[in-house]
């Protein structure tokens, strides 16, 4: 790890007011739920 890399918490803090990051986060959460459902159907 170099001194320039942010921790996850720092990233969240830095981007918490950035709407594009929020949108992408929501998209990933939704995508994850879809993947879980699809996986459960297959399994």
Distance CA 31, CA 43 (A): 18
Overall average pLDDT of the 17-40 stretch? 87
Distance CA 22, CA 15 (A): 8
Task: Give the pTM.
Answer: 0.45
Domain locations in the chain?
11-42
**pLDDT tens, 1-14?**
456 667 878 877 88
Q: What is the mean pLDDT of the chain?
A: 81
Overall average pLDDT of the 10-39 stretch? 86
Q: Is the pLDDT of residue 16 over 60?
A: yes
């Amino acid at each position: 790890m170099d001194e320039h890399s942010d921790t996850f918490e720092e990233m969240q803090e830095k981007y918490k007011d950035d709407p594009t990051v929020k949108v992408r986060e929501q998209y990933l959460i939704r995508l994850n739920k879809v993947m879980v459902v699809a996986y459960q159907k297959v399994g």
